[in-house]
């Protein structure tokens, strides 16, 4: 990979490679943009086969964070870190070595939880740096972000229901939830309270049992959930689920879920539109966790965080209105809105 070329094309500011032979740390911190404020994004703990794979993931994810913060009106930039290691290699010493790398950036990058990381891992990282978010709720922090992510998805779904059916009521609507992990589990609870009819699926049978023991839900095997007949399909598992095989099989009117990078290819947004399916761009609807963390950085107040997460409804309304106005997809509309905010910040910046 020609890093100079890739980074220049997408407008990345920095890529920091950090190793520590003593602890085995192999980490990459990608800072896409600090135009709107310090970059923020989770740290993914994942084993990557090659450096290129790890760098590509960090670069792609950090750019998405810039867009997510921009469209939510947050004064934050986009960053992301990856630690390439196997789960058994995770030690406090390695996490502290990563924390020192974060600290060396002196606040240009704030880290947070992501795949493979827990709030207790962040506690260890915080021993050596103050640039780590996700303080547990009982210590006055914002706690587990997935609760607010799920709430944000619910708010976003309401906006989608208005667009498609003219009412934001979930009663009599069927929602198919793919993935009952941290976000999906909270989401089905919220949907159940709204009296939605549920279809659920997870690779992990115990997660499915946990849901069906507490509420009524139809269960489908993972291979069949994307083609479930429903009003809303909610991808809450892995990215790339909306690919050229799945899109023609969808039997929903709305796709609205928490998963990052739901579209395997950007052109998928146009295919969905052609099929008359409303797509809520993932980085707009799944921003609840980020908004929650942004609130922690200002001094956490749950009521204020909830109010701001509810703003996802308004953000999506702007996206859908712009898409209609310019006859483009919601994804293109979201990108334009985010890019306009970034362009304004660039123009306002004093000349160098």
Beta-bridged to residue 112, according to DSSP, are 42
145 in Cβ contact with 181 (< 8 Å):
no
Tokens of 168: 């934001």
In terms of CB distance, is 24 or 136 closer to ligand NAD? 136
70 contact partners, CB below 8 Å, separation of at least 6 = 36, 337, 338, 339, 341, 342
Q: How far is CA 194 from CA 169, 189, 239, 268, 302, in A?
A: 8, 9, 27, 30, 22
Which among 71-79, 98-106, 203-211, 265-273 is the span making contact with ligand NAD, rule CB under 6 A? 203-211
Q: Which of 27, 69, 180, 295 binds ligand NAD (CB under 6 A)?
A: 180
What residues act catalytically? 80
Closer residue to ligand NAD (CB): 269 or 291: 291
CB of 181 to ligand NAD, least distance (A): 2
Report if residue 258 touches ligand NAD, rule: CB under 6 A.
yes
Q: Does residue 237 interact with ligand NAD by CB under 6 A?
A: yes
Q: How far is the CB of 254 from ligand NAD (least distance, A)?
A: 17
Candidate segments 164-172, 254-262, 311-319, 331-339, binder of ligand NAD by CB under 6 A? 254-262
CB of 10 to ligand NAD, least distance (A): 20
Q: Which is nearer to ligand NAD, 38 or 289 (CB)?
A: 289
Cβ proximity to ligand NAD, 33 vs 260, nearer residue = 260
Cross-sheet strand order for the sheet of 109-112:
14-20, 25-33, 77-84, 39-46, 109-112
Site string for ligand NAD, 269-288 (x = CB under 6 A): -----------------x--
Nearer CB in complex with ligand NAD: 44/96: 44
Shortest approach of ligand NAD to residue 79 CB, angstroms? 15
List the interface residues with ligand NAD, window 286-345 (CB under 6 A): 286, 289
- Which of 145, 156, 268, 330 binds ligand NAD (CB under 6 A)? It is 145
d(CA 296, CA 298): 5
CB 180 within 8 A of CB 208: yes
**Any contact of residue 203 with ligand NAD (CB under 6 A)?**
yes
Pick the piece of the chain touching ligand NAD (CB under 6 A) from 123-131, 158-166, 230-238, 341-349.
230-238
236 is an interface residue for ligand NAD by CB under 6 A:
yes
Choice between 20 and 189, CB closer to ligand NAD: 189
Closest approach, Cβ 180 to ligand NAD, in A, equals 5
Q: Which long-range contacts (CB under 8 A, 24 or more apart) does 50-56 make?
A: 52/1, 54/26, 54/28, 54/82, 54/84, 55/1, 55/3, 55/15, 55/28, 55/30, 56/1, 56/6
- Using CB positions, name the residue nearest to ligand NAD: 181
Interaction of residue 260 with ligand NAD, rule CB under 6 A: yes
- 335 CB neighbour count, 10 Å cutoff: 20
Q: Where are the alpha helices (DSSP H) in the chain?
A: 3-10, 51-71, 92-104, 119-126, 145-165, 182-193, 205-212, 268-274, 282-285, 288-297, 302-310, 312-326, 330-348
Determine phi and psi for 175, rounding to 5 degrees: -120, 125
What is d(CA 262, CA 43) in angstroms, rounded to the nearest whole number? 19
Provide the greatest CA pair distance for the chain.
61
List residues near ligand NAD by CB under 6 A. 145-146, 149, 178-184, 201-204, 207, 222, 236-239, 258-260, 286, 289
């Amino acid at each position: 990979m020609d890093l100079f070329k890739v980074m220049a094309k997408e407008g990345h500011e920095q890529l920091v490679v950090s190793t520590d032979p003593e602890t085995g740390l192999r980490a990459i911190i990608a800072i896409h943009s600090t135009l709107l404020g310090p970059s923020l994004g989770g740290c993914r703990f994942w084993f990557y086969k090659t450096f290129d794979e790890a760098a590509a993931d960090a670069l792609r994810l950090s750019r998405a964070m810039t867009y997510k913060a921009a469209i939510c009106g947050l004064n934050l930039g986009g960053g992301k870190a990856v630690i390439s290691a196997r789960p058994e290699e995770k030690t406090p010493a390695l996490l502290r070595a990563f924390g020192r790398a974060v600290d060396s950036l002196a606040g240009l990058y704030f880290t947070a939880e992501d795949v493979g990381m827990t709030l207790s891992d962040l506690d260890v990282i915080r021993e050596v740096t103050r640039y780590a978010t996700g303080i547990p709720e009982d210590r006055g922090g914002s706690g587990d972000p997935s609760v607010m992510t799920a709430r944000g998805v619910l708010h976003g779904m309401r906006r989608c229901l208005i667009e498609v059916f003219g009412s934001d009521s979930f009663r009599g609507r069927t929602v198919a939830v793919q993935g009952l992990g941290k976000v999906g589990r909270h989401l089905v609870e919220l949907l159940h309270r709204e009296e939605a009819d549920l279809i659920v699926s997870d690779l992990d049978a115990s997660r499915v049992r946990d849901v069906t023991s507490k509420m009524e839900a139809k269960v489908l095997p993972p291979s069949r959930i994307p083609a479930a007949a429903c009003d809303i399909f909610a991808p809450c598992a892995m990215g790339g689920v909306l690919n050229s095989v799945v899109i023609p099989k969808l039997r929903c009117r709305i796709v609205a879920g928490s998963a990052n990078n739901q579209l395997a290819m950007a052109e998928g947004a146009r295919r969905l539109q052609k099929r008359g399916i409303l797509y809520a761009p993932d980085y707009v609807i799944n921003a609840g966790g980020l908004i929650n963390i942004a609130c922690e950085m200002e001094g956490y107040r749950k009521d204020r965080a909830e109010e701001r997460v509810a703003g996802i409804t308004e953000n999506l309304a702007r996206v859908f209105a712009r898409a209609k106005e310019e006859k483009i997809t919601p994804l293109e509309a979201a990108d334009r809105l985010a890019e306009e905010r970034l362009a304004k910040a660039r123009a306002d910046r004093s000349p160098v």
